[in-house]
Amino acid sequence: MPAMQPNHFVPTVAMAIAAHPDDIEFGCAGTCAKWAQQGARVVYVLVTSGNAGTHDPTHTRDSLAALREQEQLAAAAVCGVSDVEFLRYNDGEVTPSLALRMDLVRLIRKHKPEVVIAMDPRMIFSGDDYINHPDHRAVGLATLEAVFPAAAMPLWHPELGAPHKVREVWVQWAEDPNVWVDISDTLALKVQALMMHKSQVEPKVAEMVQRWAWEAGRGLCPTEAFKVMRLMKRDPSPEDGQATAQDPTSAMLRN
């Protein structure tokens, strides 16, 4: 096993696109906080404001959305993220529509991310106790369709902005990860950000998320794991070519 090295890759601009407030905190907030600390501009895009996510009969859709947007903004601030875009689709009703793809193309062209973090459109269920939320799949598919080829094509809806090529797509919660990001320095921020979603998470979730991070890093260090697709090659760096991406320690050498 190679010795663990610090991660080097930091995108100039990263955009995390999620279905609901708290999806980013569960999935990739440790990586986003790490990149923000190292100078990246990080943008969160929330397709819904989670306006159906309660069993509390005193809430309306509007009151719940307002509360959850405040929680999301607080969570983003913990991780050094101040750019948060809300598309305000109805929670539970998201489909990978042309309208959603166009909304995402508009935001990709506006912010020009080098890396887009997507949800996994392939996951219908996982293990023997989890059915994936349909909004997660729909947002994941719309994200990929917005990245390629739509956002980069000049004749495709020029009114949505100048074309932009996303270099890399990082799929969070993927069951076939090829990159593990060491979040030793930002795990506490990830947990703190998650706890900002007071309407959604109980305190015991903090322990669970920390355990997941250590399990993802196979006990070596806390990590977030991604299926990374490099649509455009990175410039050669000293880290490239040192390792394969088959296990966390070797993949972390490269990232």
Nearer to Zn ion by C-beta: 19 or 105? 19
Give CA–CA dist 53/152, Å, rounded: 34
Least Å distance, CB 150 to Zn ion, is 24
Backbone angles phi, psi at 210, to 5 degrees: -65, -40
Give CA–CA dist 26/133, Å, rounded: 14
Nearer to Zn ion by C-beta: 19 or 33? 19
Give CA–CA dist 126/131, Å, rounded: 6
Question: DSSP string spanning 3-19?
Answer: PP-------SEEEEEES
Nearer to Zn ion by C-beta: 19 or 151? 19
Q: Which of 109, 121, 200 is nearest to 158 (CA)?
A: 109
Nearer to Zn ion by C-beta: 23 or 224? 23
How far the first Cα of the chain sits from its last, in Å, is 16
Q: Which of residues 10-39 bind Zn ion (CB under 5 A)?
A: 19-20, 23
Give CA–CA dist 175/172, Å, rounded: 9
Classified as helix, coil or strand, 179 is strand
Residue 148 tokens, joined: 């390629």
Residue with tokens 């990739």: 28
Q: Is 137 in the site for Zn ion (CB under 5 A)?
A: no
Residue nearest to Zn ion (CB): 20
Q: Which of 70, 40, 68 is nearest to 186 (CA)?
A: 40
Give CA–CA dist 128/149, Å, rounded: 35
Binding site for Zn ion (CB under 5 A): 19-20, 23
